[in-house]
């Protein structure tokens, strides 16, 4: 099999079109299941009461905000090293979804913070570094679109994304490195400190977020491909058909 | 005579070249460096006027205000770092020179720091006195600026090179650079604050020094790559 | 012919299968040519046909979409510094600092090229292009033609084997053009090679002049 078959924009355009609906359908099903588990089945938390249920949105979106940045940075590395066209388009397609997840994570976090900490916002290490992540996404999007020549924007923004990768471990380990208000992780490799249904609900919601992110990126990359390749033969044929 | 000249380029050659040239240019026009310093002093003086001149309050906010002032002053000096060289074609010649990019990029940033970061560092104790900081806090403050402002110059240099030729100029540069400055600000101001409240500033200073080492290793390379993208 | 740039391979610069697109437009593709020592290759064509882009691709400033550039038989991306040491590029932009004098500008550009020159040599070169009396005033007070002449002095002292010149005669008066032709003549006679994009006719006394026409 030719591994580079789908790295050509024209073939990937078709593949993305076929995959995207499945991603959205599975995202919807998983989200419905996850929310059912989280809001109706999971027991009330002994310490935090009903408020804790925001974690079914908050934790998956926060994970995705970091994970998507990592994936985006990987595509950016490919762009710079191999000068591939599709990887740059994928990075551009992921960025808005990543920014959205970062924003939702911050927003749901502040809703949780108000009843729990008594304030919508504190300047602790994790919140601050997550806010920096949001601005890194904004910076990436702004820089990528700031040039007449899209290829130039691709490469400049890719380099920025790679510099920003330093922020990821800071976010991830901030709750361990600094003694902050933000609570430590409830899930780790040695087992969890939470009820099984809670954990299941959270994982299901994470997969839903994942599926949504893939679907959204694929839909967006399709429109980027069409825009970039609008002068090529295959797009003209597509238009004629 | 040999047919192909042996590569006459070297890291030190490029570094010395960029540093000598940029310092001479800065010397011809000292107003830019003076403006940076004046801006720093002005910003730092505005806070007591705006917040109120209560000595205890000033002592409390002093380290943070000085750091924010230094950060903004360093940021304002950024656009000039590469813009002129980009406009007159000097950057093209640098990319095409036999000296590795690491050399001249490093030299340019070092010169930029000498013109912007170093005066701010040297001036900070004076501003600190206005805020009633104790001598040892002043010392830690100056030390944190001495370690932190090179990181700002390196990070800012990479961002300024990335934003060359982009639409949106200054605002775009702010969006790119300021979030990256955040950790430096936190550790830098944290060091002096720790000293002022009787804690050890060592952890903050070591983190700052670690950031400086990481920046020295990675960022000149990134600046070279960004310039290469810009002149394409 | 005995020159300082004699080398084993006849074709010092070889360009193969070069293709470059700017945005959606294809500027050229499948472009190939060779330049040997003592040769001048003039790139010709109407405005916007990609002459400047072609020169920039050869220098390495612009990354071509396809194709390779061989420098002394070796792909230029293998050891870019080696090719850069042997190549001087004079583009549209003057790369002069307005606040530095002609003398300082010349000194710094030659140091950047890794060329060791003495103040005496630099002064002589400036005198040869008619800037002897104006070498100590800031370049911002020189005319466009005089600024181009600093560029000529730079070429004269640059040890590069290959000159890549983008419209080298722009803003030069008749005397300046004659000076340039003389420099080019000396360069080619010494076994150097040149690639120039120009609308003018370049006729150095020595060397082989060939043309490359871009559609």
User: Which pLDDT tens digit goes with each residue over A16-58?
Assistant: 889 999 999 999 999 999 888 888 888 777 777 777 888 889 9
Does a structural domain hold residue B178?
yes
Q: Report the pLDDT value the prediction gives residue C5, as an integer from 0 to 100.
A: 66
Does a structural domain hold residue A132?
yes
The residue range of the domain holding A127 is: 11-184+193-240
Q: Mean pLDDT, to the nearest integer, of C39-52? A: 90
Structural domains of chain A, count: 1
For residue A1, pLDDT over 60 is answered with no
Q: Does domain C1-86+161-215 have CATH number 3.40.50.300?
A: yes
- Of C22, C24, C63, nearest to A83 by CB-CB distance is C63
Q: Which residue of C has its CA nearest to B90?
A: C95
**Interchain pair A83, C22: CB under 8 A:** no
Q: Which residue of A has its CA nearest to C23?
A: A149
Band of the pLDDT at A161, cuts 50, 70, 90? very high
Q: Which residue of A has its CA nearest to C62?
A: A152
Band of the pLDDT at C153, cuts 50, 70, 90? very high
* Alpha helices (H) in chain C, listed in sequence order: 51-59, 80-85, 102-112, 119-128, 144-157, 174-189
Task: Tokens for A175, please give them.
Answer: 């709750």
Q: Report the pLDDT value the prediction gives residue A89, as an integer from 0 to 100.
A: 93
The β-bridge relationship of strands C11-22 and C66-71 is antiparallel
Q: Report the pLDDT value the prediction gives residue B121, as an integer from 0 to 100.
A: 94
Does a structural domain hold residue B45?
yes
Q: Which residues contact C92 (CB under 8 A, 6 or more apart)?
A: B89, C52, C166, C167
Taking Cα atoms as reference points, which of A122, A130, A135, A172 lies closest to residue B179? Answer: A135
Low-confidence ranges of chain B (pLDDT < 70): 1-7
Does a structural domain hold residue B1?
no
The chains found to touch B (3+ Cβ pairs under 8 angstroms) are: A, C
Eight-state DSSP code of residue A83: -
Give the model confidence (pLDDT) of B31-88 as tens digits: 888 999 999 999 988 988 888 888 888 888 888 999 999 999 989 989 889 999 999 9
B97 touches chain C (CB under 8 A): yes
What span, in angstroms and rounded, lies between the C-alpha atoms of A76 and B97? Answer: 27
**Interchain pair B7, C81: CB under 8 A:** yes
**Interchain pair C62, B7: CB under 8 A:** no
Q: What is the mean pLDDT of chain C?
A: 88
Does a structural domain hold residue A5?
no
Band of the pLDDT at A179, cuts 50, 70, 90? low
Band of the pLDDT at C4, cuts 50, 70, 90? low
Residues 202-241 of A with CB under 8 A from C: 230-231
Higher pLDDT, C8 or A232: A232
Percent of chain A past pLDDT 70, that is, above it, reads: 91
Structural domains of chain B, count: 1
Q: Are B133 and B58 in contact (CB under 8 A)?
A: no
Does a structural domain hold residue B5?
no
Q: Report the pLDDT value the prediction gives residue B147, as an integer from 0 to 100.
A: 95
What span, in angstroms and rounded, lies between the C-alpha atoms of A37 and A205? Answer: 10
pTM of the predicted protein model: 0.89
Distance from CA of C28 to the nearest CA of A (A): 16
Does a structural domain hold residue A6?
no
Q: What is the mean pLDDT of chain A?
A: 86
**Interchain pair A230, C63: CB under 8 A:** no
For residue A177, pLDDT over 80 is answered with no
Does a structural domain hold residue A3?
no
For residue A70, pLDDT over 90 is answered with yes
CA angle centred on A108, ends A107 and A114, rounded to 5°:
90
Higher pLDDT, A16 or C23: A16
Taking the domains of chain C in order of start, what are their residue ranges? 1-86+161-215, 95-159
What span, in angstroms and rounded, lies between the C-alpha atoms of B43 and B36? Answer: 11
Percent of chain A past pLDDT 90, that is, above it, reads: 46
The residue range of the domain holding B89 is: 12-231
């Amino acid at each position: 099999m030719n591994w580079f078959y789908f790295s050509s924009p024209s073939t990937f355009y078709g593949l993305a079109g076929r995959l995207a609906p499945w991603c959205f359908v599975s995202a919807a099903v998983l989200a419905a299941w996850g929310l059912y588990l989280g809001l109706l089945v999971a027991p009330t938390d002994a310490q935090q009461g009903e408020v804790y249920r925001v974690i079914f949105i908050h934790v998956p979106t926060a994970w995705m905000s970091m994970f998507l940045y990592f994936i985006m940075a990987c595509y950016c590395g490919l762009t710079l090293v191999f000068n591939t066209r599709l990887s740059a388009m994928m990075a551009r397609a992921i960025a808005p979804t990543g920014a959205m997840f970062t924003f939702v994570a911050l927003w749901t976090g502040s809703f949780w913070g108000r009843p729990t900490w008594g304030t919508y916002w504190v300047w602790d290490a994790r919140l601050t570094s997550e806010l920096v992540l949001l601005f890194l996404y904004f910076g990436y999007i702004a820089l990528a679109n700031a040039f007449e020549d899209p290829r130039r924007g691709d490469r400049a923004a890719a380099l920025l994304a790679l510099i920003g990768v330093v922020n990821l471990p800071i976010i991830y380990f901030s709750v361990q490195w600094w003694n902050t208000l933000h609570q430590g992780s409830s899930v780790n490799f040695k087992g969890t400190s939470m009820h099984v249904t809670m954990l299941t609900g959270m994982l299901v919601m994470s997969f839903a977020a994942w599926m949504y992110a893939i679907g959204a990126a694929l839909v967006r990359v399709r429109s980027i491909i069409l825009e970039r390749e609008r002068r090529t033969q295959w797009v003209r044929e597509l238009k004629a058909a | 005579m040999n047919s192909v000249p042996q590569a006459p380029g070297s890291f030190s050659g490029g570094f010395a070249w960029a540093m000598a040239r940029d310092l001479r240019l800065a010397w011809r026009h000292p107003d830019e460096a003076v403006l940076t310093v004046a801006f720093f002093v002005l910003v730092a003086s505005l806070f007591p006027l705006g917040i109120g001149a209560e000595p205890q309050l000033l002592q409390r906010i002093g380290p943070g205000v000085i750091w924010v002032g230094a950060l903004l002053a360093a940021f304002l000096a950024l656009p000039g770092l590469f813009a002129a060289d980009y406009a007159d074609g000097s950057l093209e010649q640098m990319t095409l020179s036999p000296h590795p990019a690491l050399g001249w990029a490093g030299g340019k940033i070092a010169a930029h720091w000498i013109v912007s970061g170093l005066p701010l560092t040297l001036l900070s104790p004076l501003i600190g006195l206005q805020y009633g900081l104790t001598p040892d806090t002043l010392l830690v403050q100056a030390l944190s600026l001495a370690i932190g402002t090179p990181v700002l110059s390196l990070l800012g240099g990479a961002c300024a090179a990335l934003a060359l030729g982009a639409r949106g100029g200054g605002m775009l540069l702010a969006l790119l650079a300021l979030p990256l400055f955040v950790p430096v600000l936190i550790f830098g101001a944290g060091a002096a604050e720790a000293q002022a409240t009787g804690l050890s500033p060592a952890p903050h200073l070591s983190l700052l020094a670690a950031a400086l080492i990481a920046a020295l290793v990675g960022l000149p390379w990134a600046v070279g790559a960004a310039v290469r993208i810009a002149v394409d | 012919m005995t020159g300082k740039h004699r080398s084993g391979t006849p074709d010092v610069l070889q360009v193969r299968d070069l293709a470059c697109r700017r945005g959606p437009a294809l500027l050229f593709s499948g472009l190939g040519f060779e330049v040997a020592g003592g040769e001048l290759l003039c790139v010709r064509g109407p405005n916007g046909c990609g002459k400047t882009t072609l020169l920039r691709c050869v220098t390495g400033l612009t990354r071509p979409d396809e194709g390779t550039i061989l420098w002394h038989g070796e792909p230029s991306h293998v050891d870019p510094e080696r090719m850069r040491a042997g190549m001087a590029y004079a583009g549209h932009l003057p790369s002069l600092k307005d606040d530095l004098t002609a003398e300082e500008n010349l000194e710094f550009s030659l140091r950047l090229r890794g060329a060791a020159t003495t103040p005496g040599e630099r002064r002589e070169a400036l005198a040869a292009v008619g800037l002897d009396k104006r070498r100590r005033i800031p370049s911002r007070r020189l005319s466009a033609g005089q600024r181009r002449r600093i560029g000529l002095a730079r070429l004269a002292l640059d040890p590069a084997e290959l000159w890549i010149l983008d419209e080298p005669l722009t803003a030069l008066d008749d005397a300046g053009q004659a000076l340039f032709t003389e420099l080019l003549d000396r360069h080619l006679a010494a076994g150097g090679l040149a690639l120039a994009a120009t609308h003018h006719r370049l006729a150095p006394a020595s060397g082989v002049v060939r043309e490359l026409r871009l559609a």
